[in-house]
Amino acid sequence: MKKTLFTLVAAAMAVLSSSAANDGNVTFSGQLKGLKDTLIVFSPAGQGVHRDTVLTKDGKFNFTVNVSKPVNIYAYTPGTIRHEEQIGFKAIAVPGEKAEINGDLAAAFYYSGSKFYQEYNDADRANEAANKALTDFSNSLEARLTKGESRETIMKEYNEKAPALQEQATKDMIDFIAKHPDSEGAAAFIPELGDLDAMKKAAAALSDNIKNGRMHDYYQNAIDEAQQQADADAAAAKKQAAGVVAPDFTLNDLNGKPLALSSLKGKYVVLDFWGTWCVWCVRGIPKMKEYYNKYKGKFEILSIDCNDSQEKWKAGVKKYELPWLHVYQPAKGDVQTTDLYAIQGFPTKILIGPDGKIIKTYVGEDPSFYTFLDKTFGK
């Protein structure tokens, strides 16, 4: 970090009470192979985000953030922010602690410093070991994909084998946390588990001292968010379940004329929730066009553009030469199809039968969607 930046940080801290400033300061220093000459550090600040520019030399860095509670911070190169590279790291900042980070960004790096970061390093190593089999498997699939093996074959194998590997990794990490109930560093890894039940189980294994301590909100927020998502997923599953009558709606088409879903009753219809901003939506267009032409006349596609301006929507349809039906979902309007169908992600494809009832729903660019089309229309 520039000396002038240190001066600015010190001046800013001086206006705070000395106790509050000291309690909230977290210093990060170390040396990481792979760093370039500049890091942009993002840390929470009230309702916003504070951004610092840190100069590095030979991979060495030193910077301080001020936070009121344990939170994640992010340190990336300017090129990473511009999506030109992927260099940087995420770290947890705990008020009053000091972290040293050393190693190789492309391989492994390690934490040391105050007691919290020593405990955190132990948990990080345990997490790395727990996930090794899954990581190695994913890397092998990525290598095969790079060599030209089809994405469909790779995804099929991943979906068959990855769940068991993930389940074992999660179990191993829960066991580690249960064996270290008094470790704040172990508690900090509860959000990394991701799965709601796993996080609840790990949290229950903590000692009362940790449950009632400063890490509580850090992991509990992740549990609360996962619970909210689970509730939303349950609502979506209910609305998108096979056999449910697809809610009717009317939106304007490319010519500004109303188009009702009910006008397509008697046909198979794929509702395609997408947007030009959605990377996976755009990546899936060639396959969508291939299958639209493959089974032309056997089903219709009705694409519902979400979260775009009308100009971007129309430009996208023209740019990608999409030959099927299109309607536009205004951000503010009486009709909100994303609510009607409880859409949780993009793209989402919902196949509706001639009777107007939902047959199946696919979230994400899922190869099994096209397999299902083959089974349905390839007879």
Name the stretches of the chain with pLDDT < 70.
Answer: 1-23
Secondary structure (DSSP) of 310-353: HHHHHHHHHHTT--SEEEE--SSSS--HHHHTT--SSSEEEEE-
Question: Does an H or E element contain 63, and which?
Answer: strand 60-66
Selection from 41, 12, 15, 16 nearest residue 28 by Cα: 41
- β-bridge pairing 60-66 and 48-55: unpaired
Tokens of 243: 């056999």
Residue 96 CB coordination number (10 Å) = 13
The rounded distance, in Å, linking the Cα atoms of 305 and 337 is 10
In sequence order, what are the beta bridge partners of 245?
357
Task: Give the up-direction half-sphere exposure of residue 144: CA atoms within 13 A in the CB hemisphere.
Answer: 15
26: which residues sit within 8 A by CB, 6+ positions away?
Answer: 64, 65, 66, 67, 93, 94, 95, 96, 97, 98, 99
CB-based burial, 276-308: b 16+ in 10 Å, e otherwise: bebeebbebbeebbebbeeeeeebebbbbbbeb
Dihedral of CA atoms 89, 93, 96, 102 in degrees, nearest 10, equals: -20
The rounded distance, in Å, linking the Cα atoms of 338 and 351 is 15
What's this model's pTM, rounded to 2 decimal places? Answer: 0.71
Taken in order of first residue, the domains within the chain and their CATH numbers are 3-108 (2.60.40), 129-239 (no CATH), 250-374 (3.40.30.10)
- Rounded to the nearest angstrom, the gap between the alpha carbon of residue 96 and the centroid of all alpha carbons in its chain is 30
- Rounded to the nearest angstrom, the gap between the alpha carbon of residue 69 and the centroid of all alpha carbons in its chain is 23
The rounded distance, in Å, linking the Cα atoms of 51 and 40 is 7
4: which residues sit within 8 A by CB, 6+ positions away?
Answer: none
The rounded distance, in Å, linking the Cα atoms of 26 and 295 is 60
Contact between residue 52 and residue 96 where contact means Cβ atoms under 8 Å apart: no
Question: Which tens digit of pLDDT belongs to each residue from 276-311?
Answer: 999 999 999 999 999 999 999 999 999 999 999 999
Question: Which tens digit of pLDDT belongs to each residue from 112-135?
Answer: 999 999 999 999 999 999 999 999
